[in-house]
Amino acid sequence: MTDTAHALSASRTLWELVARRADLTPDRPVLLQDDRTLTFGELRTRAERVAAGLYDMGVRPGTVVAWQLPTRIETALLSFALARLGAVQSPVIPFYRDREVGFALRESKAEFFAVPGVWRGFDHTEMARRLGAKGIFEAYDDLPDGDPAVLPAPPADGTAVRWIYWTSGTTSDPKGVLHTDRSLIAGGSCLAHALHLTPDDVGSMAFPYAHIAGPDYTVMLLLYGFPAVMFEQFALPDALEGYRRHGVTVAGGSTAFYSMFLTEQRKRPAERIIPSLRLLAGGGAPKPPEVYHAVVRELGVQLTHGYGMTEVPMITMGAPDDTVENLATTEGRPPEGMSVRIVDGEVRLKGEAVCQGYLDPAQTAEAFDEEGYLRTGDLGHLTATGHLVLTGRLKDVIIRKGENISAKEIEDLLAAHPAVGDVAVIGLPDAERGERVCAVVEQPESASELTLDTVTEYLRAQGLSTHKLPEQLEVVDALPRNETLRKVLKYKLRERFGGLAT
């Protein structure tokens, strides 16, 4: 990390980080989208005006504001405006629907809710009204605006909880993860330190800005003073034009993104699909070693993969100058300040980037051990060089394209289907998605035959989000169980069906 970046990483709050970067390089770009450019100076100036508009609406320090917005410059401006005010933000992934959104609004006790209106054919404003949300306002093109003279002093305490992120665990309902400005700055610093980026780089955000990766990545931009291209709707090959136009040097997101780039490269092996690209970086889902080797061989760039979660946005990260063996088979090393401990095979964590716990105090008490280490539920071991190797998960969560999916939520819905006697939902390794969702079903006698189409249609009708729908259905005579509590042995199902194509 450069001396400047190191100094900036000591900022107490996100707004202090924005202000310090704006003083250093006001005219350098920070966010690029289509033909629009936002500089670091404009980020500070415009976010303050948005903050004043929010203040005029009644938003104060500590006010809980939920927002469900796509990856746009306006979304970043709104988020930093809330950071300027010291409000509590509750970002919600844009493709979540009534079940998840309603839960997030109720549990966070949000007093305001920012939505994009009709986006990608879905009316978010109507959903917000249907859910009885408070303080609904649209924030797609137009943002609140006001005179910054009305604003109170910026927040000075970076250790106060000002962020509520949502993650699905082993239960049907998501968990509200509590973060501070300092924990998000620490997470972004971890990422920046590992990747060895420079002010000459151009990054990219092809993931939802409402994901924990949003601030994680933006902190990196603020520390190093380079821009990133934002993609509101990411799809290949359409997005390639944006990568080329802006000269993106660093791209990625998760295993699914690596696979998509490889697919496009294989269509035209004689030319590089993004000539400026030098590094793919990401995390959030398992990375098979063969994917690493294919990226390096076919795309002609380096690939660094890491390990993070909503509770700890960056835990370990591969470094571009690491060995091929470590880059292909490990999750990288933890940065200074992140303590990784293996207890009975489980990965446990302590450090400034670790969240403060959950909205539910009982979940917080269960998540941390007696020495204050977060129990991740992930299984792994550290190598002699300090690299982390993940070998499985204690918790029953499927990670598809970087998003956590609760198996129990899908199981609970399918259990009510008349043609389902019992069901187990598992995640299976998938080169494109990281993991794919597979439903394994026992049917009652005389039940009508189940197909994948009937299962997904049924789950859609129950309000399940599209990204959680099973991609594979297996019907068995009997689910494998142990001999004591008759618990379903999911590892046997993974062994049996893990090698099958979707």
Q: State how many domains the chain has.
A: 3
Question: Half-sphere exposure (CA, 13 Å, Cβ side) for 107?
Answer: 22
**What local confidence, expressed as pLDDT, does residue 33 receive?**
98
Instruction: Give phi and psi for 443, each to the nearest 5.
Output: -105, 145
| Per-residue H/E/C for 342-411 | EECCEEEEEECCCCCEECCHHHHHHHECCCCCEEEEEEEEECCCCCEEEEEECCCEEEECCEEEEHHHHH
Res. 502: pLDDT tops 50: no
The residue among 165, 184, 203 that closes a domain is 184
In a domain, 374, yes or no: no
| Distance, CA of 192 to CA of 214 (rounded, Å) | 14
Res 412: pLDDT: 85
In this model, does residue 13 exceed pLDDT 70?
A: yes
pLDDT tens-digit readout, 58-94 = 999 999 999 999 999 999 999 999 999 999 999 999 9
Task: State residue 172's pLDDT score.
Answer: 57
Domain boundary among 292, 307, 340: 340
Token pair of 501, please?
């194509």
Look at residue 500 in the predicted model and tell me its pLDDT: 60
Q: Is the pLDDT of residue 484 over 50?
A: no
Calculate mean pLDDT across residues 342-360: 96
> pLDDT for 265-300, tens place per residue?
999 999 999 999 999 999 877 687 888 999 999 999
**Separation between Cα atoms, residue 242 and residue 33, nearest integer Å:** 8
Same domain as 197, residue 116: no
| Percent of residues in the chain assigned helix, strand, coil, to nearest 5 | 35, 25, 40
SS3 231: coil
Asked if residue 237 has a cis previous peptide bond (ω within 30° of 0), the answer is: yes
What pLDDT is recorded for position 403?
87
d(CA 12, CA 24): 17
Is it the case that residue 171 has pLDDT exceeding 70? no
- Note whether 322 and 422 are same-domain residues: no
At residue 232's C-alpha, the angle toward residues 230 and 235, to 5°, is 100
Note the pLDDT tens digit of each residue in 369-386.
Answer: 999 999 999 889 999 999
What is the phi/psi pair of residue 259, to 5°?
A: -65, -35
Q: pLDDT category, 170, cuts 50, 70, 90?
A: very low
What value does the mean pLDDT of the chain take?
A: 93
Write down the pLDDT at residue 226: 97
Burial 467-496 (b: 16+ CB within 10 A, else e): ebbbbbbbeeeebbeeeeeeebebeebbee
- Please, what's the b/e burial string for 165-181 (b: 16 or more CB within 10 A of its CB; e: otherwise)? bbbbbeebbbbbbbbbb
Q: What is the pLDDT of residue 407?
A: 85
pLDDT for 94-145, tens place per residue? 999 998 999 999 999 999 999 999 999 999 999 999 999 999 999 999 999 9
| E-assigned strand segments in 10-128 | 29-33, 36-39, 64-67, 88-91, 112-115, 118-119, 122-123
DSSP state of 333: B
* 20-39 pLDDT per residue, tens: 999 999 999 999 999 999 99
Kindly state whether residue 318 falls inside one of the protein's structural domains: yes
- In this structure, are 152 and 247 located in the same domain? no
Claim to verify: residue 147 and residue 43 sit in the same structural domain:
yes
Residues 225 and 147 in one domain: no
> Cα separations (Å) of 375 from 215, 379, 382?
23, 10, 16
Question: Mean pLDDT lowest for which of 34-38, 82-86, 170-174, 202-206?
Answer: 170-174
CB 427 within 8 A of CB 407: yes
Token pair, residue 354, equals 């670790």
First to last CA, the chain: 43
Q: Both 100 and 116 in a single domain?
A: yes
Q: Which residues span the domain enclosing 300?
A: 185-340
**Within this chain, do residues 177 and 212 fall inside the same structural domain, yes or no?**
no
Residue 378 lies in a domain: no
Question: Does the pLDDT of residue 486 top 80, yes or no?
Answer: no
CA-based angle 243:247:250, to the nearest 5? 75
Instruction: Using the predicted structure, report yes or no on whether residue 175 has a pLDDT greater than 70.
Output: yes
Q: Which CATH number is 459's domain given?
A: 3.30.300.30
* pLDDT tens per residue, range 414-444: 988 999 988 999 999 998 889 999 999 999 8
Question: Do 196 and 334 share a domain, yes or no?
Answer: yes
Residue 482: per-residue pLDDT: 61
Residue 230 has pLDDT above 60, yes or no: yes
Q: Any idea which of 70-79, 275-284, 303-312, 403-412 has the lowest mean pLDDT?
A: 403-412
What pTM value is reported for the model? 0.83
Kindly state the percentage of the chain with pLDDT values over 70: 97
* Residue 411 CA: distances (Å) to CA of 104, 186, 222, 237, 415: 21, 36, 42, 35, 6
The last residue of one of the domains, among 309, 325, 340, is 340
Kind of pairing between the strands at 64-67 and 112-115: parallel
pLDDT of residue 169: 45
- Give Cα separations from 480 to 73, 252, 436, 438, 477 (angstroms): 50, 38, 20, 15, 10
On whether both 100 and 231 belong to a single domain, the answer is: no
Task: For residues 214 and 311, state if they share a domain.
Answer: yes
Cα 216 from Cα 42, distance rounded (Å) = 20
Domain shared by 333 and 205, yes or no: yes
Please answer whether residues 218 and 230 qualify as being in contact, where contact means their C-beta atoms are separated by less than 8 angstroms. Answer: no
Judge if 68 and 176 occupy the same domain. yes
